[in-house]
């Protein structure tokens, strides 16, 4: 956990919003370490894999049909649909696609699905500017904007207590995300610090996201899209001289941190010093991790515990019908977020958010793959039998960690137990090579192999791309296949 050390009270402080805005203005490709720029490319590739996979899923189709019915044509790609929309609508839909199957990245201490907020926003802005700016937006510009967003969103999250926002019921990424989107688009459009501050203020005043969205709704998949869209709208308003809220992270009355921390159960309730802590020295992008399962992040350690037990005790775990109880212990935030069983029949959203459902999938099938969420597979009776055996509870000694413990009791009295400090993906993290493997596996059958290779080549050589909108937009626009059909 991050330690919070505020400066002495007698020191006159520069508003943290000013400091952040100035840092964003001054950020250049050369000021970003090579390893950070390289990691950003693999994060982008992972996000695009999720978008291509998610573009034609049933809930994505409904979102697409609703948005295109009320929006006119524009210049901005709708990934996987061979269509274009205005920038706000394109950012909203493309983000919804990235979140469409819950396989996208997450910051492990300030929970935010970064690419679902940042990539749709800057792709839309790059395409909106295409042909109208003095020069095309380059791959270097795109990478720098990505890093700007990745360094902003998590810091806003830390300022609000990180995972504690999930504990009290906010959809954390939808709260932290508008600032990340605004920072990224402002950097892409090369705005000065004063206008960046305006954009941050206008993005943050649009922030919202309720975690009750996880139980049955499709809107859970769109809430990061609201954040992405908010940043696009706010930045274009700021670009035209429309004044936003100044010092959005500093204001006491009606300020962002003050208001969103009102329900906090900790003291102090918020930490403004986190907004600028380590800027340019500590790179938050290194704490953004990729998922290996199409499940809510808090379920992954539980799944990995069961998976390890299956590897260590294959014969016993193969007799899963003789299990009489499964106990899962976890941190408070994980318990609040995922320690509940869905109602029968489960929706895909509820299934992917629930630890008992995730445990049942791994116990019964021995794996987690997309096909398990197809309509014919989602509500199998054997899954419900296992779900009824799962007891989730908070363990105080695991609080503020990713650790989880699973105990499985069989009818003969034998008990198997596994404790893991973190799931694969968090510790150890997914390497760039593994991200590339995931990209190829996720997009296999979704897009043709030739197109897959071209996107991969473009993204992993972004520094060489002179016109990112002209190249990447065209490759992403083509239609995709729904893997659940």
The per-residue pLDDT for 1 is 41
The per-residue pLDDT for 4 is 56
The per-residue pLDDT for 322 is 98
**Domains observed in the chain:** 16-292+441-476 (1.10.4100.10), 297-420 (3.30.1330.120)
The per-residue pLDDT for 5 is 53
Write out the H or E segment, with its range, that includes residue 473. Answer: helix 468-477
- Would you write out the chain's pLDDT as a tens digit for each of its 485 residues? 444 555 444 344 899 999 999 999 999 999 999 999 999 999 999 999 999 999 999 999 999 999 999 999 999 999 999 999 999 999 999 999 999 999 999 999 999 999 999 999 999 999 999 988 678 999 999 999 999 999 999 999 999 999 999 999 999 999 999 999 999 999 999 999 999 999 999 999 999 999 999 998 999 999 999 999 999 999 999 999 999 999 999 999 999 999 999 999 999 999 999 999 999 999 999 999 999 999 999 999 999 999 999 999 999 999 999 999 999 999 999 999 999 999 999 999 999 999 999 999 999 999 998 889 999 999 999 999 999 999 999 999 999 999 999 999 999 999 999 999 999 999 999 999 999 999 999 999 999 999 999 999 999 999 999 999 999 999 999 999 998 87
Contact call for residues 104 and 291 (beta carbons, < 8 A): yes
Pairwise CA distance, residues 146 & 188, whole Å: 9
Which residue do the tokens 């630890």 mark? 355
Contact call for residues 200 and 17 (beta carbons, < 8 A): yes
Pairwise CA distance, residues 480 & 171, whole Å: 29
Which residue do the tokens 């309730």 mark? 269
User: How distant, in Å, are the alpha carbons of 221, 342, 355, 390, 408 from that of 351?
Assistant: 13, 7, 8, 14, 21
The per-residue pLDDT for 2 is 47
* pTM strictly above 0.75: yes
The per-residue pLDDT for 133 is 63
Both tokens of residue 192?
């000065």
Contact call for residues 320 and 347 (beta carbons, < 8 A): no
Q: Rounded to the nearest 5°, which phi and psi values hold at 289?
A: -120, 150
Which residue do the tokens 């590739």 mark? 45
The per-residue pLDDT for 11 is 43
């Amino acid at each position: 956990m991050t330690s919070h050390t505020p400066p002495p009270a007698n020191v006159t402080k520069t508003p943290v919003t000013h400091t952040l805005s100035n840092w964003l203005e001054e950020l250049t490709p050369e000021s970003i370490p090579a390893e950070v720029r390289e990691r950003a490319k693999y994060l982008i590739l992972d996000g695009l894999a999720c978008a291509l996979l998610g573009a034609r899923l049933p809930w994505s189709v409904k979102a697409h049909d609703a948005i295109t019915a009320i929006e006119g044509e524009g210049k901005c790609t709708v990934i996987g649909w061979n269509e274009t929309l205005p920038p706000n609508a394109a950012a909203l839909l493309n983000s919804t696609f990235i979140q469409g199957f819950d396989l996208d990245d997450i910051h492990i201490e300030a929970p935010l699905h970064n690419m679902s907020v940042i990539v749709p926003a800057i792709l839309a802005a790059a395409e909106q500017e295409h042909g109208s700016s003095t020069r095309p937006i380059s791959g270097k510009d795109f990478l720098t904007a990505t890093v700007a967003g990745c360094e902003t969103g998590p810091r806003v999250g830390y300022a609000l207590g990180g995972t504690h926002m999930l504990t009290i019921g906010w959809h954390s990424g939808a709260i932290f995300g508008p600032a990340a989107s605004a920072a990224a688009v402002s950097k892409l459009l090369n705005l000065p610090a004063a206008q960046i501050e305006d954009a941050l203020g206008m993005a943050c005043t649009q922030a919202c996201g309720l975690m009750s969205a996880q139980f049955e709704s499709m809107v859970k998949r769109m809430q990061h899209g609201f954040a992405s869209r908010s940043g696009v709208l706010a930045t274009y308003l700021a670009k035209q001289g429309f004044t936003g809220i100044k010092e959005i992270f500093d204001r006491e009355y009606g300020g962002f941190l003050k208001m969103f921390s009102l329900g906090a159960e900790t003291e102090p309730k918020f930490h403004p010093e986190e907004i600028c802590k380590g800027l340019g020295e500590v790179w938050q992008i290194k704490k953004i991790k990729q998922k290996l399962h199409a499940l809510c992040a808090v379920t992954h350690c539980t799944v990995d515990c069961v998976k390890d037990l299956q590897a260590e005790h294959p014969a016993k775990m193969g007799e899963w019908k003789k299990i009489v109880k499964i106990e899962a212990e976890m941190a408070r935030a994980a318990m609040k977020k995922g320690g509940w069983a869905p109602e029968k029949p489960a929706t895909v959203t509820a299934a992917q958010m629930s630890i008992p459902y995730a445990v049942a999938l791994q116990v019964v099938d021995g794996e987690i793959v997309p096909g398990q969420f197809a309509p014919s597979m989602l509500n199998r009776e054997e899954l419900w039998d296992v779900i009824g055996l799962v007891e989730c509870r908070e363990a105080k000694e695991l609080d503020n960690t990713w650790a989880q413990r699973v105990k499985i009791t069989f009818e003969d009295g034998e008990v198997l137990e596994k404790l893991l400090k973190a799931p694969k993906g968090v510790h150890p993290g997914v390497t760039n090579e593994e991200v590339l493997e995931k990209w190829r596996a996720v997009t296999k059958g979704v897009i043709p192999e030739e197109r897959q290779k071209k996107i991969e080549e473009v993204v992993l050589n972004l520094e060489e791309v002179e016109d990112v909108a002209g190249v990447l937009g065209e490759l992403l626009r083509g239609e995709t296949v729904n893997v659940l059909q």
